[in-house]
Amino acid sequence: MDDNDFGDFGSDPYEFANVIGDGDQPVYPGCRKYTKLSALVKLYNLKAKHGMSDVCFTELLILQGDLLPEGNTIPTSMYEAKKTFCALGLSYEKMHACPNDCILYRKEYEDSTNCPTCVSQGGRKAKIQS
């Protein structure tokens, strides 16, 4: 194996190594159940599952940090959390979808403004909502 086998994890290999090290760092001194990285992944899964906004997630991180003992390693903002995930190569792309869950507006539908499935089924013209 060589460095190319791992894909592109950002331009800074030291940043990637630091994030991997977070996998062993307890979320607070003496914590045995969660590491900084595992706690962040659990919290981020909650954000995605419940559709939390970035502002809401930042407030949750701040609250979590205040509730945990002194010396905890929880990030204090969505920006810090995103830096961690981006260093691991876990970025994402937002895309529009039909409100009726028919299609994603990508590939051949990228420039569309009406859902072709809703229109062809005689339903209302589902438009992209911004």
For residue 25, what pLDDT is reported?
A: 84
Whole-model pTM? 0.56
Listed in sequence order, the residues at least 6 apart from 88 whose beta carbon sits closer than 8 Å to its beta carbon are 9, 16, 19
Mean pLDDT per block of 10 residues along the chain (130 residues) reads 44 59 80 89 90 92 93 90 76 74 84 79 53
Question: Domain ranges in the chain?
Answer: 8-87, 93-130
- pLDDT of 59 reads 95
